[in-house]
Amino acid sequence: MTAALAKLDPASAPAVATTETAAIFSIVERIATDPTVSIERVEQAFAFYQKVQADQARKAFASALVEAQREMEPIAKDAYNPQTKSRYASLTALDKALRPIYTKHGFAVSYNTEQSALENHVKIICTVAHSLGHERTYSVDMPCDGKGAKGGDAMTKTHAMGSAISYGRRYLLASVFNVTTADLPDDDGNAAGGKLPAPSGLVSEAQAQELIDLADEVGADKAKFCRFYKINSFSEILASDFEKAKNALKQKARHASTK
């Protein structure tokens, strides 16, 4: 048995096949049932088997990742951020494009959160598991203070946390599979000029900024306003609700002037 185990050093045989792994387990079973073999030798044999099995799982993970990425292409930026004046690929778009590919190659993706070492941040954890047992974890710290680009309150703490988790998941999913994003076909600048609603039926950049300016002008509580519309920021207001939101802010101004 000693000679058999000596020949199965992972360093000298890094490409042990699955059939050979099964053969190693068979050897371990025979050792474990041999009354002349000490418990220490049994534990040594089982530890060796686990090491070979883990090595196989790591190699399967890497091989599947290569094959999955061969099928992944740049994903269109389907959403717009008026604060940064830039388009980005939403989590929905990323998931729709990537999930069928990575699951086909044996991967599953899950998320969790942990307390961040950074103040007013939350750590988003992404675990990528492969069907043969190997897994990797990735993480990113996301701000969740509810502040906008200019430092003002842009959303409630609850919405800020939800937004941070959503953003973190989006960043991690793209990073895990090294996915890039691409701009949508040119629309002659209509969306940027506010002539068309932003992607997903939301207000345009110009409309969102108009509402923000109006809210500042009338002294509206922007966080309370977002809670009423069940959104994280003004950029998430539906284009169909633009006039309604605008009139609500003007109504507040009229109420304030009569006091």
**Mean pLDDT, 10 residues at a time, the chain of 259 residues:** 41 47 67 70 73 88 96 87 75 93 97 93 96 95 73 67 90 94 57 42 78 86 81 79 87 64
Residue of 11, 139, 134, 9 whose CA lies nearest to 62: 134
Predicted pLDDT at 38: 73
Predicted pLDDT at 59: 93
pTM over 0.85: no
The CA distance from 74 to 95, in Å, is: 13
Contact 248, 179 (CB under 8 A): no
Residue of 154, 169, 166, 167 whose CA lies nearest to 232: 154
Q: State the number of CA atoms in the 13 A half-sphere of 125 facing the CB.
A: 10
Strand, coil or helix: what is 140? Answer: strand
Predicted pLDDT at 105: 97
In 10 A of CB 180, how many CB atoms?
Answer: 10
Is the Cα torsion angle 84, 86, 92, 98 positive or negative in sign? Answer: negative
| 90: Cα separation from own chain's centroid | 10
Predicted pLDDT at 257: 57
